[in-house]
Every structure is written in C-alpha cells, then in structure tokens.
C-alpha cells in the first residue's frame, strides 16, 4: 500500500495536515476503517485533545491516537499474548537485582556496581537498547568469540560484552515462557501485523512528532506499510535538503534527515510502494504569518552566515517585535523575569496561559525554581516530566519498615517510619517518644516489646535516689503507653520481615512472597491506603489536583512493585537485607506521569520531550554555553569509541553516540526557537547555582548576528520600577525595601509604627512628615494594607521596618510567676545571667533545653566523676577512715565499689552498652583513681580534712525576700588550730579551668568565692548538717581541682617517683589561697622546704619563702574584700533576676571569650553583629586595678547602708 512522506519545516503545518486528514475522513462518515494517529507516548494526550477540538469532528471510536506501545497492546489483545503477564521496568530491575546477586562473582566489570545508585536502571536501559536493535545474548557471544579470535578477549570492551552476554542470557532464560518483556512488544507487533489484525487492517495511519526511530520501530513501520491502506510519515525537515542528492556539512535537521534516509533504505529493501511526498511550503509558513521576525529566524537558523533582519523596511533600526534577548544574574532572576513577562502578556495583551510555554534544555536545574516562582506570581502551570517518588511518605514508609526489621529496631529508621505521618500516631506523640528514646539510647526489639514498663529517667545528679515526682510519673506513663502502641502494631510484621533468614528446625527460609506479604499487611494495618485517600481528597478540596494524582499514582506504583516482586520472584528464598535492596531497586524506578490538571495553564518542559504546538509565546531558558546546546558525555555502559567499534567491526549498531547526539543539538535549538507564532524570549544567566560564571551560548550569538538591532536586556530578581510590580510577594518586598532604605536615610517614616497594620500612620508622601517615598510605592503600600487578607500576609514584612533585636524586661510580677517566689537561683545560674540575661531567661524562665540524648560528653563525664568521688568520700567518712592512711590497694577496692554502684546510673548504663564505652569506663576509673592519689597526697602533706562532700546549701541574701540562693559545694575541708578553723572549698573540674579575679568583678566567675562565703558564713543553711567545726571559721582558700589522668612527655626514662612528681605538677589546683604562712603550711607542710615551686598549690615561692608577684595569694584584707564584693555582686545579680531583666546583652571579654561562644540559645535570641546588635564589652581589669575597683564598690555599699552621717 502507498507510503507517503509529509515533509516541511517548522510551522509549515505538518501536524495540522495530519489532523485535517483525519477530520476529513470522520466527516465523510463516523464508521469505516480505523484512522490511527501514531505519535510519541508523551504526546498522546495533547494530540487527542487537538483532534477533538477540531470543528465538525463528531464523536467516534473510529479515530484513535496511539503510541507504538499502545498499538502493540491493541494487536496483542486481538492476536494473542496480552493475557500473559507483563514484566515492566520495575519488575525487570528487581528481577535483575535478584538474578545478578547469584552471578555476581562471574561478572568481571559490573559485579561491583550492583549496589551503586541508579546502576540497575541504567543496565535495564542498555538491555532495552540492545533489544531495540535486535541484539540478544547470542549476538553478544559471537562478538566475544570474534574478539577472542583476534587476541582482544582481555580488553575492557570484551569484558563488558561477556558480562552483558551473561546478564542477557540470565534474563532471557528467566523470562522465557513466563512473562512478556515490553522491550519485545515491537518485535511481536512487527511479526503479528502480517496476519492483518482487524484493528489495523485497511486503516489509514499518520505518524507525526518523531525525529527518529529505533530499528524495531522501523520494522513496525515497514510491516504497517504492507498492512494498512495508507501510511503517512511526517518529518520536520527542509524538503529541498531532504531530496537533495549531494548534502554536505552538518545540518540543523540532522536527526530527521538521518531518519528520512533510513526509512528510504528500508522501504526500498522491502519493495514498498512509495507515493509522491507531500511538501508543505509557505513563505512565510502559516505559523509565522503574523510575525516577520520569527519567520526570518525560521528561514535562516542556523546558517553559518545568516542574513540580518532589517525590519519592515530596509532602513529600519528598531528592535524586531516579538523577539527578546535577556540576561540575568541567576536562574532565580531569569525565571522571575519570565514570570513577570507572562503576567504582563496575560493582563495587558489578552494572552491565555495556554498560549505560553516555558522550555529549557534540561529541566533538572530549573524545576524547583520554576515551581516556586510561578506559584508566587499566580501563574498556573503544568510541568511535563516524569517525577521520581523516592521521598514520598509511602516509599519512605516501606523502606524504613524493612530497615527496622533488618537493623533490630534502630532509632533512625524506626522514627523515619513513624514520622511519615502514615503511622496511626500523632506527630506530637512521635516527638515525645523520639525524645525519650534518644535521651536514653534505647534500641532493639527486646527493649521495645518488653513486658516491664519503661521507667528510665534523667536525674540531676547520679547519686540522686529520690523517686520521680507525679509530673515525671505522668510523662513516663505516657511514653510507655506510646511505645506499647507502636510495638503492638509493628512487632508481628517486623518479626516476619526479619525472620526466616535460614532454614532452622525444619522450617523453610522466608521467600520474596513471605516478606512482601508481611510488608503489605503492615501497610494495611497502619491504614495507609485510607490515609492516602484522605490526603488526595484534601488536596482536591484545596485546589491541588496534581498532589491528589501523586498520592493515587504512588499507591498504585507501590502495589505494582509488590505485585511484580511476588509474580517474578515470589518463591525465591531471600534474606531481609537482599529483600530490602531489591525493594529499593524497584521503588527507585517509580516515576509519576501526571495528567495536566486544567486546560488553561503554562506548559513547562524540556525541549527534547515536550510537544507544545500552537503557542503564541515561548520562553526559552538557560541558553548558556555547554547547557544549550548540551554537552553530551559518553554512555555509562558503552562509550563512543566502543559503540563505533561494535558497529564497524561486529555489525552491532546501537543508539546514537554522544557525537551523534551533539549533532542533534542544532535541531533541538531550531525546534525551541520556532515553537512560538508571535513572541520568543531567549534568556541566559551570568552564573550557575554555585555562583560559577557562565557564558552565553552560540545560539545567542547567532540570534544577535541575525537581528543586529536587538540588544540583550538585563533583568533582575525584582523589577527596577514599582510600576512593574505584578505579584503580591514582589509588591511586599519592594515596598518594604524602599521604606527601610528611606528610614535608614532620613529617619522615622511618618506615623509608621512598623506593625504593618495600616492604621493610624504609614509612609509619608510629598506633603507628610518624614522622608519622601515615590508615589508608586505609596500606591503599592496602600494596595497592600487596605485588603484584610493582604495586610495579614504582609504584616510580618512590614513589621520588620521597625524591627530591633531587643527584648523588653519582664514585669516583676511576671518574673515571680516564672521563677517562683522566692526564686531559687544557683550560683552557676547567676554566672549565666551575668554573661547574658537573655540566656538565663531562655534556660531558667522558658526552660528551653537542647534535646537530651544518650551520650558521653564532658557534662556527663563530669557528673560521673562527681558522683564517684562523693560516694567514695562519704563511705570513708561513714567508716571513720582517713584517706591519708590508706594504701593503693584499699583505695582501688573502695573505688571499685563506688564505680559499680554509680556506673549503671550514667546515661542509662551507657558504659556497659558497647565495647567502646566499656573501654572508656576503664579510662574513667583510672582517671578517678589518679585524682584520689592526688587528694591523698594533699591529705598526707597537709592538715585539711573533709567535713562534707556534695554539700547543698540555701542562703538568703539580706537584700530582700524575692530570691533564694542555692548551690552545691563539691568538697569542704577544714584545718583546726586553736580557736580557729581554716576552711577551704574544692570544686572538681574535668577541664582545666582557671580562676580569674577580673571575671569575678564582672560576675562571670563567682563560684569559688561564693562557695567559700557560704562555707564560712554562720547564716548559711545546709540541707544536711555539716560536720562539727569547733572554733571560728576562717576562709583559707578555694580551688578548682582538676580530675585528670595527664600524659607525661619526657626526654629520658623516668623512675616511679619522678613520674609521680611530673603527674602532680600537671594536676595542680587552681584558685586562690590566703597569704598566711601558717595557712600555707597547713595545706602543705613541705611548702618551705625548697625555694622551688611546689606541685600541690597554685603558687611559686621565692628563695625567701614568699609568693611571687601575680600569684593567686590574697591578704586577709583582700580575702575580706573579695568575699564582701562577692556578696554584693550576688545581691546585685539576684535583684536583677527578680526585677525581670532579660536583655540580649552578651558579655565580651576577648575575641575568644564571649557569652555567645558556647551558647545554645543563639537561634532564639538571633544575636547578629551584622544586624546592628552589639556585645556588652567588659572592662579588662588586672592586678591592683581589680582590688581597687572591688574596694571602691564595697565601700560605696557600706556608705549607702549606713546612710547620711553614718
């Protein structure tokens, strides 16, 4: 039967010719032989709609719009084969995963790639490509034999071919007699067309929209030519160039010309009758009848020396109408400018949204930007692409459920499962449960399914033994109830997913079907289908039909994955890990193909996929060098050289190489530039998303040469003029920026309060007070605030005009409600307050805390040290033992008892959870043992003995009744001489903290003097009675005592005594001590034995036995001044807390010492130097200046208390 080409350039009416031909036949009669429009799969919807939109076309079943795949299914339904189960790409990927895991050791090249992301999908594409060009395992094996015959069997190409032969044979053997491979549909179709099935017999077929055909598609076309009444194939080519016998050089129509030549050869080979081609001409073509500039572009692109466009008259020097060349700084600015132009065309020139299209060479860099931008501008759109569903909640649900089973209920996958919002547990409850699990490091099926209730809790100190309060009990009951709900639903299915790894006790191993059934039953038990149906309904009600389609398609796709898995692999034994990998491979191939939700919308697509006929305006984005035309890289499986070798040496023709694809780029550029009938927008950017510079494409250069009067227009993210604003968000941004600049430049704006309310004030105009604001901005401002909804949306932005990062103080009444009356304030809290009042408010007032998690960091290790040392010392006191008299063995034994009691309380017994922590436990015990040795050395060389450890005190300052000061002193020691009891306090520190008198003056380091003050003041109230202290208490010193096991570096071997001396040197206490020889001798009786420094105390003596200048020794007067000043500072700080002070005023001591350095509350206070915030810079006082300032403030306080005349 006659075969006819329909040839024409872009816009000449090829698609219209095919549609009109079908319409003519339908007008003659709705009944008769089939009328088939054969188009690419992605174009079927648009062509169907175009057909039924033609005037006078009656409703009929005679005309059909089909793709090659749909035509194959129609023929199979009639001739047989459609009833056999089909394996799609999803099933093929999973089958390949399972098949190749058994042959992995036989694959030389691809064996190590099975778990690589996307490799299996690429392998399926390569196998499909081989099938499309009629290459099976036999052809591959023959090529391997020919390579071996030429001693090339060890080349990379030979190893790839051997691997592919094994893979192809495995897959073919597996599919044989069981399933139909879609890659074989076209071969099946070409073979069955000879039987003249009624669905195509006598039909008239028009083929349109193809730039090229695979070998099997060519087979189908030749078979159709022998079967149908008439076959017309439309190609976008230059008819003159196509029929020319001597073509030379590259052509913009390269792909279509290649297809034309291939078809001519196959038609001649098959002896098919060929009718005279239909040549569609027109000068200009019908599409460009109203646009001379675009007609000129179509005629001349991409000639090496295009004729310049001169406009309607030869001497015209104006820019051509309908063509815009645009440059933007970024892709965001490029898309925003295009969106503004679309809105302008719709508002001012009457364009419908469907009259416009937005295209790019590749959508990936633009898709997210386009979606967000078009939504902001209110432009309805449809993105023509297949969307991956990797991160849809259902996919994450399935993936995480398998991981939970495989990883023994690890917290990560378990809470990813619960947070999909598909689990029947509210997100708030999930958060409570997650916080508890993370805080206590809980994991494992046994832990989650245990009968005993969860009763782990975090305590303030490890030696705390009090039962939980009622509020804590309620939290524990809630957490336990939630975990039981989770375990009750998840446990039966997780055990089935994880069980049956090996045949045990005669039970068969679990199969793909067993595990797939368990997973689906979990999905049903969790109510996932009902939840997705509800989400889809809510999306429809909210006007988001594409989201509803997504939920529906993902559920169907997930069911298809499980169906394919059970159908193809159901009886195969499989481990949980391999089941998860196979499932992941199948889910990774799922994509969404959404139907356009409305008829009037902008179509967004990639140039090589989307068909956008009959658009009036086309926006072509990303016309940059290396982007459009695109640079093609070699294929993953076969590079260009290997493809050439296979074609030339072994007769294995494959799909076009990257070189062939590069030749096709001019064709894609031609198609993109000739889509629109009236307006063409071509834009490029100066930088990519990473900020790297980008150059314009050769397409831009060609257009500039073709239209020399057309200048490249720069565009920005936001319009330069207020009159160009076209979106509410744009208006809000522009108005806010202009008003903010005016405010910074000239002061407050009229009566504007910055609240965005639009009442009682606003920006001043020409006749108002304050800075002048352009009238267009005033008009835009009024437009924003006059509508209630717009005003609410703009309120936050407009409120920023008066934004200052300031926090007003709390009213005293509110402070009392937050902190209590009286407020219980610790010394460390006051230090935090002195560093930054807002940080204290966030932690103590708002009770904000970083998420607690089971860990072993410095705070947890410090708590462990304190608890062990406290328990050890208290038991010594209970047994009336002196540490100085104990030997190493006794100390080690008693330490072991304390460690055994304390360790299980540390972070839910973290030290026993893993081998790493068990090793760390040994190191911690060794560190405490070293600390006890140092303490024993202090006891042996001095007279101070502990009278209490971990002593909790409550002290009421005389400044008022609103605050109660409390604290915990790690160790109080006393040395008695006659009528006096010298007191020193010790605070254990796991870090190397030093004491600084200057920081005490600033309130940042008051802990040691405050504790010493509490230990020596008679009015101090202790929670438990302190040991008897006969005599008047005299403050002797206060020290930070390092808990450390230091490393010793030496240039020579050291003996035990020398090594011990070096270690003692590295763990000297830090603090201050009374400059009294008697006191120094009480602390170290050997203090005057030499003139050299002693390791126990933080001072160095001169030869005369006096402390060097600058050492932390204080006279009795200075000690009194220090303690009086400390009391004064505590009163001042507690009064400020009670008064409600919460200002964002972080202290700055030096660039490396700021209150913000380790603060957890930066996200809350939003302190930012660049936004105008400032530190509270502290005075740097040292030496005598510190004492002078302390004495001055103490004397001032005394004078104020005594009053006038005192």
> Is the pLDDT assigned to residue 442 strictly greater than 80?
yes
**DSSP bridge partners of 1022:** 953
Beta strands in 774-847 (DSSP E): 823-826
- Average pLDDT of span 507-528: 89
Angle between helices 331-348 and 367-376 (to 10 degrees): 40
CB 933 within 8 A of CB 1095: no
Q: Where are the beta strands (DSSP E) in 364-436?
A: 381-384, 387-388
- What integer pLDDT is reported at residue 725 of this predicted model? 75
Is the pLDDT assigned to residue 1030 strictly greater than 90?
no
- 423/425 Cα distance (integer angstroms): 6
Residue pair 969/1016 in contact by the 8 Å Cβ criterion? no
**Alpha-carbon separation of residue 376 from 75, 315, 359 (angstroms):** 47, 43, 19
Instruction: Calculate the alpha carbon distances from 399 to 492, 513, 547, 575, 577 in Å.
Output: 17, 17, 21, 15, 11
Query: Rounded distance, CA 968 to CA 440, Å?
Result: 26
Tell me the CATH number for domain 393-455+467-592.
Answer: 1.10.486
E strands, 127-187, where? Answer: none
Residue where the block lists tokens 């929670």: 1023
Determine whether 111 is exposed, middle or buried from the number of CB atoms within 10 Å of its CB (0-12, 13-18, 19+). Answer: middle
Give the dihedral sign, CA 867/873/879/883.
Answer: positive
Angle at 299 between CA 293 and CA 302, to 5 degrees: 105
pLDDT tens digit string along 381-403? 888 877 778 889 999 999 999 99
Convert the pLDDT of each residue in 907-917 to its tens digit: 666 666 677 77
Weakest mean pLDDT among 74-88, 341-355, 846-860 = 74-88
pLDDT above 90 covers a percentage of the chain that reads 28
pLDDT average, residue stretch 365-381: 89
**Number of continuous H segments (helices) and E segments (strands) in the chain:** 43, 26
Say how far apart CA 417 and CA 1065 lie, in whole Å: 54
Which pLDDT belongs to residue 753?
A: 41
Separation CA 88–CA 486 (nearest Å): 36
- Note the pLDDT of residue 767: 47
CB under 8 Å to 872, separation ≥6 — which residues?
894, 895, 898, 928, 932
Assign 1092 a pLDDT band (cuts: 50, 70, 90).
very low
What confidence category does residue 758 fall into, taking pLDDT thresholds of 50, 70 and 90?
Answer: very low
pLDDT at 108: 80
- Asked if 967 contacts 953 with a C-beta cutoff of 8 angstroms, the reply is yes
Mean pLDDT of the chain: 83
What pTM was estimated for this model as a whole? 0.75
| Confidence class for position 313, pLDDT limits 50, 70, 90 | low
Segment 98-148, tens digit of pLDDT: 777 777 777 887 777 766 766 777 787 787 778 777 787 888 888 888 878
Q: Write down the H helix ranges in 1158-1183.
A: 1162-1165
What pLDDT does 551 receive? 92
Percent of the chain with pLDDT over 70: 88
Taking CA atoms, 620 is separated from 380, 684, 717, 891, in Å, by 18, 9, 17, 81
Per-residue confidence (pLDDT) for residue 358, from 0 to 100: 93
Res 684 pLDDT > 60:
yes
Give the pLDDT confidence score for residue 975 in this predicted structure. 92
3-84+185-281 has which fold? Rossmann fold (3.40.50)
> What six digits make up the tokens of 78?
């009639």
Q: Is the pLDDT of residue 962 over 70?
A: no
- What digits encode the pLDDT tens for the residues 771-804? 577 888 888 888 888 888 888 888 888 887 777 7
Same topology for domains 3-84+185-281 and 393-455+467-592, yes or no? Answer: no
Order across the sheet with 381-384: list the strands. Answer: 381-384, 602-606, 356-360, 615-621, 676-685, 323-328, 712-715
| Domain ranges across the chain | 3-84+185-281, 89-178, 288-308+319-386+596-715, 393-455+467-592, 722-802, 812-851+1140-1167, 916-1132
Give the integer Cα–Cα distance in Å for 620 and 680: 8
Inter-residue contact 238 to 9 (CB < 8 Å): yes
Q: Are 842 and 1164 in contact (CB under 8 A)?
A: yes
Q: 1128, 1136 in Cβ contact below 8 A?
A: no
Question: Coil, strand, or helix at residue 721?
Answer: coil
User: What is the rounded average pLDDT of the residues 238-248?
Assistant: 78
| Residue-level pLDDT at 714 | 92
Query: What mean pLDDT is predicted for residues 678-696?
Result: 91
Residues 206, 234: contact at Cβ < 8 Å? yes
User: Which CATH number is 288-308+319-386+596-715's, of 1.10.10.60, 3.40.640.10, 3.40.50.300, 2.130.10.10?
Assistant: 3.40.50.300
**String of b and e for 200-232 (b: at least 16 CB within 10 Å)?**
beebbbbbbbbbbbbbbbbbbbbbbbbbbebbb
- Of the candidates 668, 150, 602, the residue with the CA atom closest to the CA atom of residue 374: 602
Nearest to 929 by CA among 893, 965, 890, 895: 895
Mean local confidence (pLDDT), 329-356: 92
Q: Is 764 a residue whose pLDDT tops 70?
A: no
- Out of 260-264, 506-510, 761-765, 1016-1020, which region has the weakest mean confidence (pLDDT)? 761-765
Hey, what are 56's tokens? 């006078």
**What is the per-residue pLDDT for 517?**
93
Banded pLDDT at 757 (limits 50, 70, 90):
very low
| Token code pair at residue 627 | 């982007």
pLDDT tens-place string over residues 842-867: 999 998 988 887 777 777 788 888 88
């Amino acid at each position: 039967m006659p075969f006819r080409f329909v040839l024409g350039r872009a816009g000449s009416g090829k698609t219209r010719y095919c549609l009109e031909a079908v319409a003519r036949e339908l007008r003659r009669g709705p009944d008769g032989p089939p009328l088939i429009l054969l188009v690419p799969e992605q174009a079927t919807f648009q062509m169907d709609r175009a057909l039924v939109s033609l005037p006078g076309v009656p409703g009929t079943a005679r005309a059909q719009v089909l793709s090659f795949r749909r035509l194959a299914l129609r023929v199979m339904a009639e001739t047989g084969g459609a009833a056999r189960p089909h394996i799609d790409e999803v099933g093929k990927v999973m089958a390949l995963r399972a098949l190749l895991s058994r042959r992995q050791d036989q694959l030389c090249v691809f064996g190590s790639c099975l778990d690589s992301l996307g490799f299996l999908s690429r392998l399926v594409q390569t196998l499909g490509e081989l099938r499309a060009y009629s290459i099976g395992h036999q052809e591959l094996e023959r090529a391997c034999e020919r390579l071996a015959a030429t001693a090339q069997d060890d080349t990379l190409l030979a190893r790839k071919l051997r691997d592919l032969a094994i893979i192809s044979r495995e897959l073919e053997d597996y599919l044989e007699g069981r399933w139909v491979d879609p890659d074989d549909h076209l071969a099946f179709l070409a073979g069955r067309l000879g039987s003249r099935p009624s669905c195509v017999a006598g039909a008239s077929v028009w083929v349109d929209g193809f730039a090229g055909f695979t070998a099997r598609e060519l087979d189908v076309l030749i078979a159709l030519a022998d079967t149908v009444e008439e076959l017309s194939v439309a190609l976008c080519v230059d008819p003159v160039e196509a029929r020319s016998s001597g073509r030379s050089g590259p052509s913009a129509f390269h792909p279509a010309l290649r297809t034309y030549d291939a078809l001519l050869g196959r038609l001649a080979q098959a002896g098919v009758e060929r009718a005279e081609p239909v040549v569609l001409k027109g000068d200009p073509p019908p599409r460009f009848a109203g646009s001379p500039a675009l007609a000129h572009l179509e005629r001349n692109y991409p000639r090496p020396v295009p004729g310049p466009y001169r406009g309607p008259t030869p001497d015209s020097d104006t820019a051509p109408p309908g063509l815009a060349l645009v440059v933007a700084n970024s892709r965001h600015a490029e898309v925003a400018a295009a969106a503004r132009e679309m809105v302008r065309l719709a508002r001012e020139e009457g364009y419908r949204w469907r009259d416009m299209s937005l295209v790019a060479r590749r959508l990936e860099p633009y898709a997210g930007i386009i979606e967000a931008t078009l939504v902001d501008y209110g432009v309805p759109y449809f993105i023509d692409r297949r969307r991956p569903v990797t991160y849809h909640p259902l996919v994450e649900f399935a993936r995480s459920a398998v991981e939970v089973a495989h990883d023994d209920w690890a917290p990560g996958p378990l809470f990813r499962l619960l947070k999909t919002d598909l689990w029947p547990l509210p997100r708030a409850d999930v958060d409570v449960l997650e916080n508890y699990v993370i805080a206590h490091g809980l994991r494992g099926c046994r832990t989650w399914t245990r009968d005993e209730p969860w009763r782990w809790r975090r305590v303030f100190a490890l030696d705390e033994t009090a039962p939980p309060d009622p509020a804590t009990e309620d939290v524990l009951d809630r957490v336990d109830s939630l975990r039981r709900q989770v375990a009750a639903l998840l446990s039966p299915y997780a055990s089935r997913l994880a069980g049956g790894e090996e045949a045990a006790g005669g039970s068969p191993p679990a199969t793909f079907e067993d595990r797939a059934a368990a997973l689906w039953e979990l999905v049903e038990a969790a109510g996932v289908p009902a939840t997705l149906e509800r989400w889809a309904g809510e999306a429809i009600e909210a006007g988001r039909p594409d989201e509803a389609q997504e939920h529906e398609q993902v559920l169907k796709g997930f069911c298809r994955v499980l169906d394919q898995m059970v159908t193809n692999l159901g009886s195969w034994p499989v481990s949980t890990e391999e089941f998860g990998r196979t499932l992941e491979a199948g889910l990774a191939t799922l994509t969404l193909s959404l139907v356009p939700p409305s008829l009037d919308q902008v179509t967004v697509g990639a140039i090589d996929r989307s068909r956008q006929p009959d658009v009036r305006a086309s926006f072509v984005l990303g016309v940059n060098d290396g982007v459009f035309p695109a640079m093609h890289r070699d294929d993953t499986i076969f590079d260009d050289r290997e493809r050439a070798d296979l074609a030339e040496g072994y007769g294995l023709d494959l799909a076009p190489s990257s070189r062939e694809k590069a030749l096709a780029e001019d064709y894609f550029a031609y198609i993109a530039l000739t889509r629109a009938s009236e307006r063409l927008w071509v834009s490029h950017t100066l930088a990519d998303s990473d900020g790297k510079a980008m150059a314009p494409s050769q397409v831009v250069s060609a257009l500039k040469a073709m239209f020399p009067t057309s200048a490249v227009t720069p565009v920005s993210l936001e319009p330069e003029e207020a009159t160009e604003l076209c979106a509410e968000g744009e208006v809000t941004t522009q108005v806010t920026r202009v008003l903010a600049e005016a405010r910074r430049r000239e002061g407050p704006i009229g009566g504007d309060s910055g609240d965005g309310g639009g009442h009682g004030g606003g920006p001043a105009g020409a006749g108002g007070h304050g800075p002048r604001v352009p009238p267009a901005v005033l008009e835009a401002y009024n437009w924003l605030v006059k509508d209630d909804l717009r005003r609410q949306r703009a309120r936050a932005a407009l409120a920023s005009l008066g934004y200052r990062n300031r926090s007003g103080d709390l009213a005293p009444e509110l402070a009392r409600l937050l902190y209590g009356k009286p407020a219980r304030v610790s010394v460390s809290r006051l230090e935090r307050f002195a560093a930054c009042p807002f940080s204290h408010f966030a932690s103590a007032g708002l009770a904000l805390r970083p998420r607690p998690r089971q860990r072993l960091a410095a705070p947890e290790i410090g708590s462990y040290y304190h608890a062990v040392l406290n328990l050890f010392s208290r038991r010594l006191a209970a047994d009336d033992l002196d540490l100085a008299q104990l030997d190493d063995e006794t100390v080690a034994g008693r330490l072991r008892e304390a460690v055994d009691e304390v360790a299980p309380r540390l972070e839910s017994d973290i030290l026993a959870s893993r081998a790493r922590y068990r090793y760390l436990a040994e190191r911690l015990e060794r560190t405490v043992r070293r600390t006890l040795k140092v303490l024993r050395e202090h006891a042996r060389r001095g007279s101070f003995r502990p009278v209490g450890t971990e002593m909790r005190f409550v002290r009421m300052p005389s400044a008022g009744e609103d605050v109660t000061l409390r604290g915990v002193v790690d160790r109080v020691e006393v040395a008695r001489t006659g009528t006096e009891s010298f007191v020193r306090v010790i605070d254990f520190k796991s870090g190397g903290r030093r004491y600084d008198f200057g920081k005490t003056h600033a309130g940042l380091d008051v802990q040691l003097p405050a504790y010493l003050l509490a230990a020596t003041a008679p009015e101090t109230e202790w929670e438990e009675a302190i040991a008897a202290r006969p005599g008047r208490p005299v403050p002797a010193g206060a020290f930070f005592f390092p808990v450390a096991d230091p490393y010793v570096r030496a240039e020579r071997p050291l003996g035990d005594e020398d090594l011990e001396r070096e270690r003692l040197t590295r763990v000297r206490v830090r603090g201050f001590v009374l400059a009294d020889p008697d006191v120094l001798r009480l602390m170290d009786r050997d203090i005057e034995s030499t003139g050299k420094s002693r390791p126990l105390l933080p001072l160095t003596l001169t030869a005369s036995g006096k402390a060097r200048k600058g050492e932390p020794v204080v006279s009795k007067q200075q000690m009194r001044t220090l303690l009086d000043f400390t009391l004064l500072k505590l009163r001042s700080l507690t009064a400020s807390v009670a008064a409600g002070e919460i200002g964002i005023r972080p202290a700055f001591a030096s660039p490396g010492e700021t209150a913000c350095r380790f603060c957890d509350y930066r996200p809350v206070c939003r302190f930012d130097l660049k936004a105008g915030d400032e530190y509270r810079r502290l005075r740097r006082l040292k030496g005598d200046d510190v004492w002078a300032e302390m004495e001055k403030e103490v004397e001032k306080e005394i004078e104020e208390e005594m009053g006038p005349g005192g």
